[in-house]
Amino acid sequence: MCVNPHALICARILSRDEARPVDGVLIERRLRTALALRKRLSSAPYYRWVFGESDRLPGLVLDRYGEVIVGQIATAGMEALRDEVTAAVRAVLAPAALFWKNDSAARELEHLPQLAYAAFGEVPDTIEVVEGELTFTAPLAAGQKTGWFYDQSANRARLARYVPAGARVLDVCSYVGGWAVTALRHGAASAVCVDASQPALDFAQRNAQRNGGSVALLHGDAFDTLKALAAQGARSTW
């Protein structure tokens, strides 16, 4: 069990076996179990490898972008095990690079500093993502979360059944256009991306173009932009 009296969730269970120490051996075994599952579910090496508590590694997220692994630690307990996690990642997968993107504001709740650095290997400025038949580029160090929202990959995969042919789509808080580009691939006639980050919108346009489409861009606060669109009488069809 990892305990942090400063956090709202002050205790997180890693093992109920008192005789089983929480060490690199345990972490490596759980990484191997999680990897075996992801490989069964994914045809390409682009996925969320570790989903925190779901993989019995609370506070840890590991995302895979081919030979680059990006990790985030959100709890003091897992932070104390960071070196063991790094060693286990190398032992289980031997990727070219591991980048710790521990810059989430949520770390403040655990009294942890925000920092981002390469644990090993050369880390690129951008990462490549494959989802189904689509390919994307996203910023890494300057990107949101771990660079991509893999926790929404399954939802995007289900999108085809909900997009009517010829739909006009509004992708709010679009980041680099994952939802908009997916909707265009599945029959939407047009898509508008709204985001407060102009660099993110620039990536969205490039991602649309590399997948054979184009998106309109609206740079601004999501709520202000939605109010302005409503005042103009703008409507999406989905």
Helix axes 178-185, 198-210, angle to 10 degrees: 20
Strands (E) located in the chain? 2-3, 11-12, 46-51, 60-65, 68-73, 97-102, 115-120, 126-131, 134-139, 168-172, 190-195, 216-219
Of 14 and 43, more confident:
43
Query: Is the pLDDT assigned to residue 4 strictly greater than 70?
Result: no
Nearest to 98 by CA among 75, 131, 64: 64
pLDDT of amino acid 55: 95
Is 166 exposed, middle or buried, given 0-12, 13-18 or 19+ CB atoms closer than 10 A?
exposed
Rg (CA), the chain: 20
pLDDT of amino acid 84: 97
Query: Is the pLDDT assigned to residue 238 strictly greater than 60?
Result: no
The whole model's pTM is what? Answer: 0.91
What is the distance between the terminal CA atoms of the chain, rounded to a whole angstrom?
A: 46
SS3 call for 117: strand
**CA triplet 22, 28, 33: central angle to 5 degrees?**
110
Contact residues for 160 (Cβ-Cβ < 8 A; gap 6+): 186, 187
Q: Which domains does the chain have, with CATH numbers?
A: 2-120 (3.30.750.80), 126-230 (3.40.50.150)
pLDDT of amino acid 82: 96
pLDDT digits (tens, 9 = 90+) for 117-172: 999 999 999 999 999 999 999 999 999 999 999 999 999 999 989 999 999 999 99
d(CA 33, CA 156): 25
Is 32 exposed, middle or buried, given 0-12, 13-18 or 19+ CB atoms closer than 10 A?
middle
